[in-house]
Structure 1
Amino acid sequence: MIQMAENAKNHPPHFNNAAFDIVAIAASAGGVTALVKVLSTLPAKFPAAIAIVQHLAPQHRSFMAEILGRRTVLAVKQAQEGDCLTPGTAYVAPPNHHLLVNGDSTLSLSQSELVHFLRPSADLLFESIATIYKDRAIAIVLTGTGSDGAMGVEAIKKMGGTIIVQEVKTAEFSGMPSAAIQTGNVDFILPLDAISSTLVTLVMGNVEID
């Protein structure tokens, strides 16, 4: 009975008209331009939640949510402790905080130790959604240096989720996309311009977009 209760807590409610409930996006160097490209063409009725880790200078306030919010019809906000995932909303990890998703679809922020010298860590975000959302999770790895996201990609794939990686030749910095591809767990390797439309097809299927 205890095991059943734990399992129940790890199955958050599914969003209506969505084949996937959450899209987690990782980016580092060159990421602002890439994130704008992906988010700017998603429809207002996009029925999944989006969580974003963009590596930022830890000592400065971030205007990432405002920058992205001006370029997309989706709601964009800097993630706060206890936020509940909502369809059509993008949550941006604040500087110097890990962003994690809980079993009840709420968000947690943590200043626990750096992961591969990074905070926020895409690996931690990806691993948290793999555990909770399993085959209803999509992870996207965009431009960036280093290898953040690669371990998380393996975790998501192991739990049945779907992985999209920016094609290296269209990435301003190839480190993160290359590391993800080298795991052998990637479902789609796409030029930056094709990621948004693929995301809509995966999440919304044949639903008509106004």
Structure 2
Amino acid sequence: MAGYKAVVIGGSAGSIPVVTELLRALPLNFKFSVFIVLHRLKNVPSSMDVILAGKGKGIYIKEPDDKEVIQGHRVYLAPQNYHLLIEADHTISLDYSEPVHYSRPSIDVTFESVAQVYAAGVVAVLLSGANQDGADGLRSVIDQGGTAIVQDPATAEYPAMPQAALNRNKSAVAMTPEKIASFLQTLND
């Protein structure tokens, strides 16, 4: 399926095993950019980028710097305690404004900014979590013509977040982690 410019994955409690599965599923020669937003503890040192890099079969994963130019074939992990936004000039902006749904980084904030920049060229994936973050952001992705996928709540360790997203977004597609992985494998440009 050609035309996708960005994949954005949001997750919270219970999502790390699925994120690692999805990283392994990325096509070896993918050209799009991948953005991952995970809820993490704010004031505890984190090596999540190193942990995920070890799971992604040689994929380049990093926590971006503010104003970094976005490149294809890269996976960007939102730094803990910062919202990750995508700017119209295809740079990353890190923001320290108030938490959204008690979270910074907020999945909603990233989904909304990615939708504004990439429109129909974005695939947004919302995974397991215990709050409602991501539901409003998925609405933005859908409104801009993007593809919205939600982990089937029956397969989520914490089903509240995917269920909230499905309740608010009737056109979002619920998939098992295996089906999401299969879908991502089809996204070569």
> Normalized against structure 1, the TM-score is what?
0.85
Match of 1:8 in 2: none
Match of 1:11 in 2: none
1:100-121 Cα distance to aligned partner (Å, 9 max, x none): 0001111010101111211100
Match of 1:139 in 2: 124
Tell me which amino acid in the other structure corresponds to 1:81.
D
Tell me which amino acid in the other structure corresponds to 1:25.
I
In 2: Cα distance, 1:122 partner to 1:31 partner: 13
In 2: Cα distance, 1:64 partner to 1:163 partner: 25
Match of 1:65 in 2: 49
Instruction: Between 39-48 and 123-132, report the one with greater CA deviation.
Output: 39-48
Match of 2:92 in 1: 107
In 1: Cα distance, 2:145 partner to 2:91 partner: 21
In 2: Cα distance, 1:56 partner to 1:82 partner: 22
Unaligned stretches of 5+ residues in structure 1: 1-16
Q: Does 1:124 align with 2:109?
A: yes
Q: Between the two proteins, what is the percent identity of the paired residues?
A: 35
Match of 2:139 in 1: 154
1:178 Cα deviation from its structure 2 partner: 0.4
The structure with more radius of gyration: 1
In 1: Cα distance, 2:2 partner to 2:60 partner: 17
Is contact 2:42–2:80 with CA below 8 Å preserved after alignment?
Answer: yes
Match of 1:77 in 2: 62
1:185 Cα deviation from its structure 2 partner: 4.0
Aligned to 2:179, the other structure's residue is in SS state: helix
1:78 Cα deviation from its structure 2 partner: 1.1
In 1: Cα distance, 2:183 partner to 2:166 partner: 18
Is contact 1:98–1:121 with CA below 8 Å preserved after alignment?
Answer: yes
Report the number of matched residues. 188
Unaligned stretches of 5+ residues in structure 2: none
In 2: Cα distance, 1:185 partner to 1:45 partner: 32
Is contact 2:135–2:169 with CA below 8 Å preserved after alignment?
Answer: no
In 2: Cα distance, 1:157 partner to 1:81 partner: 27
